[in-house]
Amino acid sequence: MSKFEIRKRSKSEVTILDIYGELDAHTAPILEKELQQLIENKFVHIVVNGSGLEYISSAGLGVFMAYIEDIRSQDGDIKISSLKPKVFNVFDLLGFPTLYDIVENEEKAVDRFK
Protein backbone atom coordinates (compact mmCIF):
# COMPACT_ATOMS: atom_id res chain seq x y z
CA MET A 1 0.00 0.00 0.00
CA SER A 2 1.25 3.43 -0.92
CA LYS A 3 2.21 5.76 1.93
CA PHE A 4 0.52 8.65 0.22
CA GLU A 5 -2.61 9.06 -1.84
CA ILE A 6 -4.53 11.86 -3.55
CA ARG A 7 -8.22 11.88 -4.48
CA LYS A 8 -9.55 14.65 -6.63
CA ARG A 9 -13.02 16.19 -6.48
CA SER A 10 -14.72 19.31 -7.81
CA LYS A 11 -16.99 21.68 -5.96
CA SER A 12 -18.38 24.45 -8.25
CA GLU A 13 -15.20 26.10 -9.67
CA VAL A 14 -12.93 24.66 -7.03
CA THR A 15 -10.78 21.56 -7.30
CA ILE A 16 -10.48 19.71 -4.04
CA LEU A 17 -7.51 17.41 -3.39
CA ASP A 18 -8.01 15.01 -0.51
CA ILE A 19 -4.57 13.94 0.60
CA TYR A 20 -3.91 10.89 2.76
CA GLY A 21 -0.87 9.44 4.45
CA GLU A 22 2.63 10.82 4.66
CA LEU A 23 3.93 13.59 2.45
CA ASP A 24 7.72 13.37 2.41
CA ALA A 25 10.60 13.37 -0.03
CA HIS A 26 9.47 10.06 -1.51
CA THR A 27 5.84 10.94 -1.95
CA ALA A 28 6.27 14.65 -2.79
CA PRO A 29 6.52 13.99 -6.58
CA ILE A 30 2.93 12.59 -6.52
CA LEU A 31 1.57 15.92 -5.29
CA GLU A 32 3.95 17.84 -7.58
CA LYS A 33 2.60 15.99 -10.58
CA GLU A 34 -0.99 16.64 -9.57
CA LEU A 35 -0.38 20.38 -9.12
CA GLN A 36 1.49 20.62 -12.43
CA GLN A 37 -1.47 19.06 -14.21
CA LEU A 38 -3.95 21.39 -12.58
CA ILE A 39 -1.86 24.42 -13.55
CA GLU A 40 -1.56 23.17 -17.11
CA ASN A 41 -5.34 22.75 -17.35
CA LYS A 42 -5.93 26.11 -15.69
CA PHE A 43 -7.67 24.64 -12.67
CA VAL A 44 -6.01 27.05 -10.30
CA HIS A 45 -8.63 27.28 -7.55
CA ILE A 46 -7.36 24.54 -5.35
CA VAL A 47 -8.27 23.36 -1.89
CA VAL A 48 -6.02 20.81 -0.29
CA ASN A 49 -8.07 18.89 2.27
CA GLY A 50 -5.49 17.56 4.72
CA SER A 51 -7.84 15.63 7.01
CA GLY A 52 -6.12 12.38 6.05
CA LEU A 53 -2.58 13.74 6.17
CA GLU A 54 -0.62 12.01 8.92
CA TYR A 55 2.82 13.53 8.43
CA ILE A 56 4.55 16.23 6.43
CA SER A 57 8.27 16.76 6.02
CA SER A 58 10.17 19.83 4.79
CA ALA A 59 10.19 18.38 1.31
CA GLY A 60 6.42 18.06 1.51
CA LEU A 61 6.13 21.70 2.51
CA GLY A 62 8.44 22.56 -0.37
CA VAL A 63 5.83 21.31 -2.84
CA PHE A 64 3.41 24.03 -1.69
CA MET A 65 6.11 26.63 -2.12
CA ALA A 66 7.19 25.43 -5.54
CA TYR A 67 3.91 26.04 -7.39
CA ILE A 68 2.24 28.84 -5.48
CA GLU A 69 3.70 31.59 -7.63
CA ASP A 70 2.48 30.01 -10.87
CA ILE A 71 -0.98 29.53 -9.43
CA ARG A 72 -1.30 33.00 -7.99
CA SER A 73 -0.09 34.56 -11.24
CA GLN A 74 -3.14 33.01 -12.85
CA ASP A 75 -5.41 34.49 -10.17
CA GLY A 76 -5.64 31.20 -8.41
CA ASP A 77 -4.60 30.00 -4.98
CA ILE A 78 -4.02 26.98 -2.82
CA LYS A 79 -6.11 26.90 0.35
CA ILE A 80 -5.29 24.33 2.96
CA SER A 81 -7.97 22.88 5.22
CA SER A 82 -8.75 20.33 7.89
CA LEU A 83 -5.19 19.71 9.05
CA LYS A 84 -4.69 17.46 12.07
CA PRO A 85 -3.21 19.43 14.96
CA LYS A 86 0.12 17.58 14.79
CA VAL A 87 0.48 18.44 11.10
CA PHE A 88 -0.79 21.98 11.50
CA ASN A 89 1.94 22.52 14.10
CA VAL A 90 4.57 21.95 11.42
CA PHE A 91 2.94 24.41 9.01
CA ASP A 92 2.52 26.88 11.83
CA LEU A 93 6.05 26.43 13.11
CA LEU A 94 7.54 27.38 9.78
CA GLY A 95 5.26 30.38 9.35
CA PHE A 96 3.06 29.05 6.57
CA PRO A 97 -0.11 30.66 7.98
CA THR A 98 1.24 34.08 7.05
CA LEU A 99 1.51 33.05 3.41
CA TYR A 100 -1.35 30.62 2.96
CA ASP A 101 -4.99 30.44 3.92
CA ILE A 102 -5.01 27.55 6.32
CA VAL A 103 -8.56 26.98 7.64
CA GLU A 104 -10.41 24.49 9.87
CA ASN A 105 -12.67 22.90 7.28
CA GLU A 106 -13.16 22.44 3.58
CA GLU A 107 -16.33 24.55 3.39
CA LYS A 108 -14.53 27.62 4.70
CA ALA A 109 -11.69 27.01 2.28
CA VAL A 110 -14.07 26.84 -0.67
CA ASP A 111 -15.82 29.99 0.55
CA ARG A 112 -12.54 31.88 0.46
CA PHE A 113 -12.64 31.67 -3.35
CA LYS A 114 -15.97 33.59 -3.48
Partner 1 sequence: MSLSNATDDEKKSRFGLRTLLDTSRLLIESHDVDFVLNNLLLISMGKLMVNRAAILWFHPKKNTYSVLKSKGRHTLSAEVTIRRDLFKKQSTALCAEHQELDHVCKHGFEMLIAIQNSERHFGFLALGPKMDGTEPGSEEIEVLESLVFMSGIAISNSELVSELRATNRKLDYKIQELFTLFDLSKSFNASIDREEIKRIFKFTLLGQLFVRRFFLIIQRRGEPHLVSQNGLGTTPDRQQMQDLFAVERNIVMVDDDIRKKHPFLEQVQIHLLLKLNSDGQEPAVIGLGKRANGVDFEQTDLNFLISLGNLALMSIQKTYLLEDQIEKERMEEELSIARSIQKRLFPDNTPEVPNLQIAATNIPSYQVGGDYYDLIRDDDQNLTMAIADVTGKGVPASLLMANLQSVLHVLQPFDISLVDATGQINSLIYQNTPSDKFISFFWARFFHHNRTLRFVNAGHNPPLLFRKGSEPRKLSDGGILLGAMPTLMPYKEMVVQLQKDDIIVMYTDGVTEAMNSEEEEFDEPRLISCVESRMDQLPEEIMEDIISEVTTYCDNHFTDDLTLIVCKVC
**Candidate residues 5, 7, 37, 62; the one interacting with partner 1 per rule CB under 8 A:** 62
95 Ramachandran zone, left/alpha/beta (phi>0; psi -120 to 50): left
Give least dist CB 33 to partner 1, A: 12
Nearer residue to partner 1 within complex by CB, 17 or 35: 35
Strands 14-23 and 77-81, bridge-based pairing: unpaired
**Rg (alpha carbons) of the chain, rounded to whole number:** 13
Nearer to partner 1, 11 or 70 (CB): 70
Instruction: Tell me if 52 sits within 8 A of 18, measured CB to CB.
Output: yes
Taking CB under 8 A as the binding criterion, the range among 8-16, 61-69, 76-84, 104-112 that sits at the site for partner 1 is 61-69
* Cα distance between residue 23 and residue 44, in whole Å: 21
Which of 25, 74, 84, 111 binds partner 1 (CB under 8 A)? It is 25
Stretch that binds partner 1, among 9-17, 43-51, 74-82, 86-94 (CB under 8 A): 86-94
